[in-house]
Structure formats: structure tokens, C-alpha cells
Amino acid sequence: MSRKSIVAAAILGPLCLLALPGAAPAAQDLVTLTSSFFPDRPWGPISAADGALAGAGRATDPGSSWSLNPATMAKAGMWRVRATALAVDPQRNDLRASTLDYSDTSPFVSLGETGIHATRGQLQFALYLAQDSYQQSKEQYIKDEPGFGPLSFETQTETHRARYGLSAGATRGAWSGGLAIEGNHVSERFEFQPSQDAQNLGAVPGKANLKGNAVGGAAGVSWQASPLVLVGADAHFAGTPRLKDESGNDVGSDEIPASFDLGATVGKETGGHLLVGASHQGARDVELGDSLGRGTDHDPARWNFAAGYHYKPAEAKWDFRAGFGWSPFPGEGAPRYSRMGAGLGYDFDGVLVHLAYSRDARHSSDDTNTSRNWFTLGFDLKL
């Protein structure tokens, strides 16, 4: 191995794996170069109630999401409008701990779930936009390499996945069911810019700006098993979007994993409620088609588990939610996730306002830790 290759490998470490002279280049994607959060975490709040419950009860609680289980809104019985805003503060503990100097542009504001729910006869409809994941960052950091001094790097990342759809549901006795047709939009923008000194030692800039769309759908059911127990389940699926660059060229793909949710709510209409949930998310393979041709990124299938508590007094207009969630190591070197949340709601005579704080943490098998803080504000307007 040449001295230049040895120096470059020592400097870049996890950012870039350089091959031996004459050998084929290692299949490392641009995501590895940027040390980004991608593929995004398996859970993110899309409403304030969902953030407070940390993923629990999503298949049974319409306050958590209109779009996850098309059956949950079938009993609502009124017209409503929903809007949700998210403020996210990523905590790059890994880069802060491993660099001489670190700065970023966080936090940022994002959209959660927005939509309108309508009734017509025995049918219930919802038209919605739900942003399942959004992450952006601009990071600058300096690494000290013995014998060469400080070297600076800059990374910019933006990963985005959203669903827009129309769902319809109905109730018959103790059962409710619903179907939805959805459009899915994904976009990935990454840029890795090492300083000129780092480039002289072998670091190579890279970037990608890609977008894609696919059609999908969802089906859901809920069952009032007893006066105290409501059980629900839903499934989502979609095609694999082909990623196109800024010139319209087909350069890669971004798989949207199939998912399945199962949940239960135990409690009466008012008072204390226990919510539990389990979900399975399929594997995700992403080919970014970046300028350096670094192959495919793989996120294995995983399970997520959550439990929460919801208290709604019989006479007062406020309510309280809190939850905890956990996703174990799925193997293949993928990280473990944990999350918690708490939130309050208040009914201002027809305007339901919810505010929640939640935090998710990512722990990799190599003991690398990062986290994010979420502040979620949303309202449901009864029409």
C-alpha cells in the first residue's frame, strides 16, 4: 500500500474505506462518507399524541395518526381538520466526542401530519399528508491527525419520505375497517466536502441530489373486543421508487419497506388508558447512484415495541399522555433504538391542541451514540 493510501485511510476512518492499489474499490456509499443518520430511524412522531406515546397505540388511537390505520377514524363521527408542526434538535454525540471542533445548524422545523376528515352517510373519509421521516443537517468538524495536524470536513444531508393519500372506512358492530391509496415521495440529498488539505491526502468529495415517487396502499381493522379493550392492526406497502438526478436520469432506487402494526388500548372513554403496540418494518435497500459509485446501503428488518399511558378526566378539558418505546439490535450491525415521550392536550371548545416532547436515541453495536429531541405542536379543529 502506498504512503498516500495509508495516510488517507488513517484520516478518513469510518468516512471512507480506500482500497489497495490495483484492487476493486470498497462498496461504501455516500451515506458512510457523510456519517449521516440515513437510513432514517424506524420511528418518528407525525402528531403530538404520537410523539407523547412514543409509538404506542398507533393502530388504535386516532389522536396518534389518521394515516397509519385507516380504520381508526371510522368511529369519529364528525368533520375535522388536523395540522402538526415538528421542531427537531439532532444531537451528534458521536462527532462531538471524536473531533476537535464541531458545529451544526440544528434544530430545524418540519411538517408532521396534516389532513381533513369527513363523513358521508355510514362512510368516513380522510385526505392527508404524512411525513414519516425528515432529517437535515449541515455539519462542520475538524479532526486532528497525528503527524498531519487538523483537517476540516463539511457534510450536508437531507433525507425525506412522505405519504399523501385518501382513506375510507366504515363501522359494523364491534368491527371497523378501512382502506387507503397512497402516493409516496422520497428525496435524498447528500454532500461531502473535505478541505483541500484532506483532498491532497486522498479524501474525495461526493454528492447526490435524488428524488423518486411510487404508488402504495394501506389496509386496517379495529375490533372492540370488550367495553374496555380495543384491538387494531394495519399494514402498509408501496412500490420501490426509482431515484432520478437533477437531469432526470434514472440513477438509483430507494426501497420503501413494507410495515405492519398491531396495538391495543385498554380503558373506558374517560379515565386512565393503557396503550401497547408492536410493529415490524421490512428491510430497506438504497442505491444512491452517487458520483463515486459506492453501491447499495442496507438497513435490515426490525421489530419495534412500545407502551404508553393516556389519562383523560371525565369533567376537565385536558388530557395527559406518556410512553416508552424500544427496538432491539436486528443483527447485521444495525443499531438499537430507544425513545420516550410525554405530552398534554386541551380542548378549547372545538379546537383540540396537543403539545409533546419526545426523545429518541440510537446506540450502535460499536458503542456509538446519537440522539434527537422532538417538540411537537398540533391541533384538531372540529367543523
DSSP string, 105-171: ---EEEE-EEEEEEEETTEEEEEEEEEEEEEEEEEEEEEEETTTEEEEEEEEEEEEEEEEEEEEEEE
Q: What is the pLDDT of residue 366?
A: 73
331 pLDDT above the threshold of 80: no
Which residue from 157, 160, 110, 159 is spatially nearest to 138, judged by alpha carbons?
A: 157
Lowest mean pLDDT among 132-136, 195-199, 288-292, 324-328: 288-292
Span 147-153, mean pLDDT? 81
Q: How confident is the model at residue 167 (pLDDT cuts 50, 70, 90)?
A: very high
As beta bridge partners, residue 321 has: 310, 343
The domain spans of the chain are: 3-382
288 pLDDT above the threshold of 80: no
Read off the DSSP letter of residue 195.
-
Q: How far is CA 233 from CA 61, 166, 226, in A?
A: 11, 18, 16
DSSP letters for 67-101: SS-TTTTTT--S-EEEEEEEEEEEE-HHHHHHSSE
For the chain, the straight-line distance linking the first and the last C-alpha, in angstroms and rounded, comes to 70
Question: What's 3-382's CATH class?
Answer: mainly beta
Q: In the predicted model, what is the mean pLDDT of the chain?
A: 82
Cell numbers of 91, please? 444531537
Angle at CA of residue 357, ends 353 and 361, nearest 5°: 150
Virtual CA dihedral for 244, 249, 252, 255, nearest 10 degrees? 40
Q: What is the pLDDT of residue 329?
A: 84
DSSP letters for 41-73: PS---SSHHHHHHTTTTTTT-TTT-SSS-TTTT
Q: How confident is the model at residue 355 (pLDDT cuts 50, 70, 90)?
A: very high
As beta bridge partners, residue 309 has: 274, 322
pLDDT per residue as tens digits for the range 214-257: 999 999 999 999 999 999 999 999 999 999 988 899 988 888 99
Q: How confident is the model at residue 41 (pLDDT cuts 50, 70, 90)?
A: low
Q: What is the pLDDT of residue 14?
A: 34
Cell numbers of 70, please? 385507516
Q: What is the pLDDT of residue 13?
A: 37
Span 156-170, mean pLDDT? 90
**Top-confidence residue, 128 or 366:** 128
**Top-confidence residue, 168 or 193:** 168
pLDDT per residue as tens digits for the range 56-94: 988 999 888 888 999 987 766 688 999 999 998 877 666
Span 126-146, mean pLDDT? 84
Grid cell 399522555 in the structure block, residue: 321
Check: CB of residue 53 under 8 Å from CB of residue 323.
Answer: yes
Distance CA 68, CA 53 (A): 15
As beta bridge partners, residue 337 has: 327, 362
Q: 100-139: b or e for each residue (b if 16 or more CB lie within 10 Å)?
A: eebebebbbebebbbbebbeeeeebbbebbbbbbbbbbeb
Which residue from 263, 211, 278, 242 is spatially nearest to 42, judged by alpha carbons?
A: 278
Q: How confident is the model at residue 369 (pLDDT cuts 50, 70, 90)?
A: confident
pLDDT per residue as tens digits for the range 1-34: 333 332 333 333 333 322 222 222 333 455 555 5
**Top-confidence residue, 158 or 333:** 158
Cell numbers of 119, please? 363523513
Distance CA 87, CA 91 (A): 13
